[in-house]
Structure 1
């Protein structure tokens, strides 16, 4: 099974839609194996968004992501990275498919509710920024036989 990092950003927390996001993840068949709510530190935010450090929006992104609590998760499942990206929808909510989190619940790229890793390398890097391996819980969901073929 593949793991990915998912975050409900401060705008999603402030709007009270954490449960909606988690529900969509779980209904799709993915499972949450680690979760925490906290206000991201400046250091963690800069590490998390390091690939954007030279972009003009970097400082405002860091300011936003550290402005209030967010919910960090490790999500696991078959093809979890690509499935989670589809569940989230396009980065710009205007281009996000109806039925996706961003397509249904967001209007602006800078307030698009969720983040998910875009590659196995990003997932590994982001998970290690936000979680210790001991904080990730492996388990089998009772419905996995109904979700996956052998």
Structure 2
């Protein structure tokens, strides 16, 4: 991983999985030039849900979050690329799909705040990526490799 690259945690939520959007979402990130370094189709249990949403514990919407994220399988991923966290957030759109521009994932696939298809680490929260990656993946599940098109995605070739 070069010094320009960063890794970011992304998850297709139960609604996105149920609606068959995993492939479309993965394609968008791939086409953009980001590189998937980990992926896992899984069912989140109560314990993991509580850890994942720990910052919201005690808030009125907490139980709803936990109930929703455990309501069906999710697809958890780690993506790598230049400024990956910020780029993924821009591609996802606003937390509320109704506020999201068409062309963004939520703007194209969502209408409702509670069913917003995708989760990505917050670029304004310094440790969010690492914390979430560690929560969902073991170190050996993250694969280091060169994507053969990197020289066509990045101007300088130290990727």
The alignment's TM-score, normalised by the length of structure 2, stands at 0.92
Alignment of 1:113-124 (within 5 A): 113-119=117-123, 120-124=126-130
Q: Give 2:58's aligned residue.
A: 54
Aligned residues: 150
Alignment of 1:7-86 (within 5 A): 7-86=11-90
Structure 1 runs of 4+ aligned residues shifted over 6 Å read: none
Which ranges in structure 2 are unaligned for 5 or more consecutive residues? none
What displacement does 1:98 show? 1.1
CA RMSD of aligned residues (A): 0.8
Does residue 136 of the first structure (1) align with residue 142 of the second (2)? yes
The alignment's TM-score, normalised by the length of structure 1, stands at 0.97
SS of residue matched to 1:97:
coil
**How far apart are the structure 1 equivalents of 2:108 and 2:6?**
26
Can you list the C-alpha shifts for 1:27-51, whole angstroms capped at 9, x where unaligned?
1111110000111011111111111
What displacement does 1:2 show? 0.1
What displacement does 1:54 show? 2.5
Does residue 87 of the first structure (1) align with residue 91 of the second (2)? yes
**How far apart are the structure 2 equivalents of 1:69 and 1:141?**
28
Greater CA radius of gyration, 1 or 2? 2
